[in-house]
Chain A
Amino acid sequence: MEMDRSAQAYWKAVLKLVGQILIVWFLVSYGAGILFADALNNIHLGGYPLGFWFAQQGSIYVFVALIFIYAKLMGKIDEKFDVHEQ
């Protein structure tokens, strides 16, 4: 019984992490890059209008960071619940 609860708790922790990362993922691309791009274009990053920058540069940098953050945090969750590969 103890083990089973742990498996469910593990899956819950995983889903929570995935959910949090997806929120950031959505905000930088669909949010800043598309939905709010026009408003952000009033702000400039060097010669870039900010909305344009998110759509063509910024979101990509954030995506790369997100995957590594996910991989690292997942590694921690795996060890915490003792399900990591040996």
Chain B
Amino acid sequence: MSLTAITYLVVGLTFALYIGIAIWARAGSTSEFYVAGGGVHPVLNGMATGADWMSAASFISMAGLIAGMGYGGGLFLMGWTGGYVLLAMLLAPYLRKFGKFTVPQFVGDRFYSKGASSVAVICLLAASLTYIIGQMTGVGVAFSRFLGVSNTAGILIGMTIVFAYAVFGGMKGITYTQVAQYCVLILAYTVPAIFISLQLTGNPLPQLGLGSDMVGTSVPLLEKLNQVVTELGFGEYTTSVPGSKLNMFVYTVSLMIGTAGLPHVIIRFFTVPKVKDARSSAGWALVFIAILYTTAPAVAAMARLNIHATVNEAVLGGGDLFDNENILQYENRPAWMERWEVTGLLQFEDKNNDGRMQYYNDATTDPEVLAKAEAAGWEGSELDVNRDIIVLANPEIAMLPNWVIALVAAGGLAAALSTAAGLLLAISSAISHDLLKDMWMPDLSEKGELLAGKIAMACSLIVAAYLGLNPPGFAAGTVAIAFGLAASSIFPVLMMGIFNKRMNKEGAIAGMLAGLGVTMLYVFAHKGLFFIPGTEFLGLFGGEPNFFFGISPNAFGAIGAIINFAVAYGVSKVTPAPPEHIQELVESVRVPRGSKAVSGGH
């Protein structure tokens, strides 16, 4: 069977499975639509959280970014897992005890103010929408390759499917389909990694293979990779940092606390039966996430090595990397390159017209590399590989069997769809439940609420798809901004709501506005007003990118969070303490006894 036929078959089968489960568990009342009646087992909930969590950014984009960044890419790995420790200890059990559906409801009740809850809705929408833009970028990559169409067409088709999918089920459909999706995506991620690890190091476990010697030699894989990339003018793989150590530090903080503040993840912990389960659920979620996250660095390093090996025989065969005889001729390029050229995400430009594909760092400042390149008649790097394609192309690069390539396509689609659907749900519940029902139209019927939720989903998808066509960065980078927004607004307010009895509504509102505002200002200055290309206003701040101590906009959420805490604390000191019953509420949230099933009614 041809590759295309197998891909359609595998993707078709997995979709049939998800839709089958969604029909079987179709949502009825609004309570079921949002949180599946509060009766999901911690292990299953952990798996579903894993699928929800591991989006297009984790599955499709992250390893590609690590492949390019090397050691510094560890910030994604630590950031997106370390946040679960915070979530498990600082937020999940208490929010579960509180027993409400959504983050804005908690904020509204704890800070006894509809104003605070509206601001929380705004923060939630800002983070979730940005997140979906990143997802749409990933969806575009997956669908364009899968259907053999341009990236733009891929995004539009993907958008339609995500919408149909999210509207169809509710959380209940989504919880059980997500368990299935987790299984598909983790197989799709680990199977090719195992194959590749075996090929390169003879060790079937990628986590160990990355630390092993190259097959048939006594040279460790990472040492070999270091040697190849530095010789070609790139930074050393195992030590290169993004910008500075400070930037890496702050970036990691931002992703960690963003993880703990992202509404579509928090909402998961409302669905477990008990407070006790909320704690272990976070642990189970992290177990399932860690399987992918510890495999990713191996995928990254091995893919990097394989790409160089594909275009340059000297990489694995030994010999001179700058000898043109070792460089791949364009007409002999492997089929996977042709397939990705169709999407426009892999490009070859024959700058020195010799028909061969020279790939090196032409922006290097190393005079030795530049001299060697010039001597070899190289006139610039000729291959441009979009980092977002690395994972999907990985099995093709390593020449694995067709069914593995098909499986990865199915996994990529599962990852993109599940997270997009989970996010849409968070957005729709924020608008229909927290804004419309609780604030503007209290007598809205259940039916009206569901309809409003669906309209909200459609609108946010259209916005996300439009911006996904002109993405502010790679999928994982855009998603990192979403984390920054959550980190600077939602995490601090939740934390202070639980750990600071004296925090009042004035402090909370001022803190959220300050944190979110500052972070948005910094991000928009770099990436354009609401990410619309061409509206950057870096000039206002002197025109220097990363002007705040060299911290990149993707990492700025941590600074926003500090500002949020500081402003909230300052304002609460000079305004009246919260009323007695609120302080008692905080006391009661802190102890597990007396937890009830979640309720959303008033």
Contacts and interface: CB of A to CB of B under 8 A. Distances in A.
Interface of A: 7, 10-11, 14, 18, 21-22, 25, 29-30, 33-35, 37-38, 41, 45-49, 51-53, 55-57, 59-61, 63-64, 66-68, 70-71, 74-75, 78, 83-86
Contact of B210 (A10, A21, A48, A70): A48
A39 B12 CA distance: 50
Interface string B216-245: 000011110000000000000011000001
A47 B294 contact: no
Given A34-B249, A57-B207, A52 B238 contact: yes
Contacts of B223: 47
B85 A63 contact: yes
Given A52-B238, A53-B211, A59 B89 contact: no
B293 interface: yes
Interface in B62-102: 66, 71, 73-75, 77-78, 81-82, 84-85, 88-90, 93
Interface residues of B, number: 51
A60 B211 contact: no
A47 to B, nearest CB: 3
A33 B93 CA distance: 28
Contact of A59 (B78, B239, B245): B78
Most buried by A among B222, B587, B591, B595: B591
Given A7-B587, A10-B591, A85-B593, 18 more contacts: A22-B85, A29-B78, A34-B252, A47-B213, A47-B221, A48-B222, A51-B71, A55-B78, A60-B294, A61-B290, A63-B290, A64-B286, A66-B85, A67-B279, A67-B280, A67-B282, A85-B594, A86-B593
Contacts of B290: 60-61, 63-64
B78 A60 contact: yes
A85 B594 CA distance: 7
A85 B275 contact: yes
A82 B115 CA distance: 37
Given A52-B222, A63-B286, A85-B592, A34 B248 contact: yes
22 contacts: A7-B587, A7-B591, A34-B248, A41-B238, A46-B211, A47-B223, A48-B210, A48-B220, A48-B222, A52-B71, A52-B74, A52-B239, A55-B77, A56-B77, A59-B78, A59-B81, A64-B286, A66-B85, A67-B88, A67-B286, A84-B276, A86-B593
Given A56-B297, A83-B592, A46 B88 contact: no
Contact of A21 (B71, B81, B85, B287): B85
Interface in B278-337: 279-280, 282-283, 286-287, 290, 293-294, 297
Contacts of B211: 45-48, 53
Interface in B546-587: 587
B172 interface: no
| Secondary structure dominating the interface of A | helix
Contacts of B238: 41, 49, 52
A61 B191 CA distance: 21
B245 A30 contact: no
**A7, A18, A85: residue with the most chain B Cβ atoms closer than 10 Å:** A85
Contacts of A14: 590
Interface centre among B84, B238, B276 (most CB of A within 10 A): B238
Nearest to B201: A47
Q: Identify the interface centre among B71, B275, B287, B595: most chain A CB within 10 Å of its CB.
A: B71
A9 B486 CA distance: 32
A66 to B, nearest CB: 5
A14 B88 CA distance: 13
Given A59-B82, A84-B276, A18 B593 contact: no
Contacts of A48: 210-211, 220, 222
B117 interface: no
Contacts of A29: 78, 82, 252
